[in-house]
Amino acid sequence: MNDSHDDNQQHLPSPSIWPIGFAIGIACLLVGLVISVTVLVVGAIIAVVFGWLWVRDLVGGAPRAAAAEPATAPAVVETQAHAETIDRSTFLSVTTLGLGGVIGAAVTVPSLGFMVLPSFTGDGVETGEVDLGPISNFPEGKYVITTYTEKPEFGEVSRRTAFVRYNGLTGKGEPSFSVVFGRCVHLGCPVQPNGPFDGEPLSYEAEGKPEVTLQPVLAASFGCPCHGALYDGEGNRTAGPPVRSLDRYEFKIVNGNLLIGRLFSVGTVDGLGAKARIAKYYRAYPGVHVDGIEKWLYPIPTPGST
């Protein structure tokens, strides 16, 4: 006696691991947005690979079992071309998945771009080289409040302040400077030196460039009047809400003159003057951590005044 069964019933594909892999990839991608670019890239690759395999499975499906002819029926051989078709369930699954992906991308990609892109591009502020004048204008061991125009074409709105201290010569015989940006790394308010002026102001004007003013000051520390931030003489935070040390400028000496260039953020400064070890990072917005566990927990910049 033969077991009876419906040979014409469609054989559905067995469950696959592709949806699970796709979900893991999406999870890694979302986690990577917060903690690491590497995790983000790996998650995106996993999601794309498993998503493609999933769609391939849905589109390919499994072949239908051929219907068995009754043993008593006469054998009839017919040649007929059958067009390959996709059953309704597979079509709806693929359509829903594709439409959901398109809608999700249209909604999330612009938002993610605005949120995440600044994390990889810094604050977007481009600072050209500025000639602050002969190094003889900067007495050794003392800060000089230096005011200059960052972008002459913008006029006074691009007026900036830096605290410049000549530290003497390094072990290699090269001039060492501490060039600290005069903006608080809490919310970008102007920072003030804690100490009196020490002498008359000076000025320097390079050919075809706006005037640079230099005011010597006896500053043992710096403070921000807005929210009570305090920094020591190297720019390290000592009190208040800032999350890192004061930003600094890159510098170089050209024909005996001090030129400052790009700004960079500082985690901490260990040591003093020419012997200081500076933890240098990309230029970040005020309020953004650049080191420690907080860097991974709060990587997305928040706009601030510069």
78 contacts: CB under 8 Å, gap ≥ 6: none
Region 182-204: mean pLDDT is: 92
* pLDDT over 90 at 193, yes or no: yes
CB of 215 closer than 8 Å to CB of 163: no
Burial label, 61 (beta-carbon count in 10 A; 0-12, 13-18, 19+): middle
Other CB atoms within 10 Å distance of the CB of residue 48: 13
Q: pLDDT digits over 261-300, tens only? A: 999 999 999 999 889 999 999 888 888 888 887 777 665 5
pTM above 0.85, yes or no: no
- Give the whole-number percent of the chain exceeding pLDDT 70: 69
Q: Which of 46-50, 60-64, 177-181 has the lowest mean pLDDT?
A: 60-64
CB of 213 closer than 8 Å to CB of 130: no
pLDDT value of position 218: 93
CB of 50 closer than 8 Å to CB of 25: yes
Confidence at 302, pLDDT banded by 50, 70, 90:
very low
- Give the whole-number percent of the chain exceeding pLDDT 90: 37
Helix (H, G, I), strand (E, B) or coil at 151: coil
Of 301, 306, 305, the C-alpha closest to 116 is: 301
DSSP state of 294: H
Distance separating alpha carbons of residues 141 and 218, to the nearest angstrom: 10
* pLDDT over 80 at 93, yes or no: no
Region 147-157: mean pLDDT is: 84
Distance separating alpha carbons of residues 289 and 277, to the nearest angstrom: 19
Cα distance between the two ends of the chain: 89
Domains of the chain (ranges plus CATH)?
18-65+82-121 (no CATH), 130-297 (2.102.10.10)
pLDDT value of position 154: 80
* pLDDT over 60 at 80, yes or no: no
**81: amino acid identity, one letter:** A
pLDDT value of position 237: 94
Structure tokens at 120: 């990889």
pLDDT value of position 226: 92
Measure CA 55 to chain center: 33
What stretch of H or E contains 246? strand 245-254
Q: CA torsion sign, 217 to 219 to 225 to 231? A: positive
* pLDDT over 60 at 153, yes or no: yes
Whole-Å CA distances, 222 to 36, 144, 271: 34, 13, 17
Confidence at 67, pLDDT banded by 50, 70, 90:
very low
* pLDDT over 80 at 45, yes or no: yes
DSSP state of 224: E
Confidence at 157, pLDDT banded by 50, 70, 90:
confident
Distance separating alpha carbons of residues 176 and 256, to the nearest angstrom: 13
pLDDT value of position 24: 86
pLDDT value of position 132: 93
Q: pLDDT digits over 26-36, tens only? A: 888 777 766 66
Instruction: Characterize the bridge pairing of strands 212-217 and 221-224.
Output: unpaired
Q: pLDDT digits over 207-263, tens only? A: 878 899 999 999 989 999 999 999 999 999 999 999 999 999 999 999 999 999 999
* pLDDT over 50 at 306, yes or no: no
